[in-house]
Amino acid sequence: MNPLRCIPYALKQVTRHRVRSILTITGIAIAMFLFTTVQAMNDGVTTATRATAEDTTLVVYREDRYCPATSELPQDYQGRISRIEGVASVIPVKVVVSNCRTSLDVVTFRGVPKDDFLSDRGNALRVVEGSIEDWKRRTDAALVGETLARRRGLHPGMTFDAAGITAYVAGVIRSDDAQDHNVAYTALEFVQLAGRDRLGIVTQFNVKVTDPALLDRVSDDIDAMFETAQEPTSTFTEKAFIGRIADDVIELVGFARWLGLGCLAAVLALVANSIILGVQSRISEHAVLQTIGYSGRLIAALIIFEGVLLSLVGGAIGAAAAMAVARFSGVALSVEGASIPITANMNLLLSGLILCGIIGVIAGLVPAVQASRREIAECFRAA
């Protein structure tokens, strides 16, 4: 008998006990929602902190400082850094955050010299609403990251308040860089004055080098230059800098992986419990199926298919819900001005479904083997 012609029978077994199937699918969906969310957080941490061969950016920070409010460097360091061999550009940045601690709702203002910033980063930014010209024209204008705009409901022409700063939204930007998703770029002088700091003081310098191979050498040269200055520096690659200040977040996400494994164990237990109950209630039916020509292997395949179906339906619902929340809620983990995105893509959904399918097979394997080995007479006696 063709196994594909028996699929409607397996579907009927799932829908026959609707309450049990719905409860099982709901439990699987909740567990997969948690698992997918944890994986999205883990992928975000990896994206924000993993160095690549194309990285050419260094972050120059005040030595032994962490929160942006405590890092103060003279803006005139810019000229001295730019003269170091291998440096392509230097952008002074004044960072003001609404909350320096780890949080899901942080607004990060980055004051930058507008012309220098556009020359350095303009090609990497895509304006999805508003205009660059409006941003350049107004002193208080901000280019707002798409994630921040979605979370706060911001659109061009609106004003918003955060961290004691009132800014005008000139445009909403989209970027492949995670640090642009949850930020508001404004004029350097505007942030310096709005943050009640004196002009000429910045939080950090973003330094681009001409060749990724020069990162370590340029970093050492910068720190050596200011080693005896009143405001010494610590220079890191951009990804290493984020990993350094987001150490607590990374540790939290690492612990959350155990939660993800617990969710997978819960899925396995739910599917296995549902299948075992279903098999026990259909022992006589299996005897009838054997009588009319169903082989033991085919009965086992139908039971495994039932487990896979329950797992896939519940897993798809849970994973899709987690992706929707991650993509449309505008939530991101922020710490000390750095943003850790919660990324969700189709690869995450597909990997979740594959895991669910594997779990469905494992959960149904033991009861399927037991059912396939029962003799017809034994089935009728058990019934």
User: What would the pLDDT profile of 265-283 be if each residue is shown by its tens digit?
Assistant: 888 887 887 777 776 666 6
Element (H, E) at 274: helix 247-281
What are φ and ψ of residue 87, in 5° steps?
A: -85, 125
What is the tens place of the pLDDT at every residue in 130-168?
989 999 999 899 999 888 888 888 899 999 888 788 899
Give 360's contacts (C-beta < 8 A, 6+ positions apart).
271, 304, 307, 308, 309, 310, 311, 312
pLDDT of residue 255: 74
Element (H, E) at 162: strand 159-162
Looking at the predicted structure, is the pLDDT value of residue 122 above 80? Answer: no
Q: Could you tell me the pLDDT band of residue 224, with boundaries at 50, 70 and 90?
A: very high
What is the tens place of the pLDDT at every residue in 357-380?
888 888 878 777 776 666 655 555
Mean pLDDT of the chain: 80
Least confident stretch, 167-181, 213-227, 367-381? 367-381
pLDDT of residue 185: 93
| Spatial separation of the C-alpha atoms in residues 259 and 330, rounded to whole Å | 23
| Spatial separation of the C-alpha atoms in residues 320 and 324, rounded to whole Å | 6
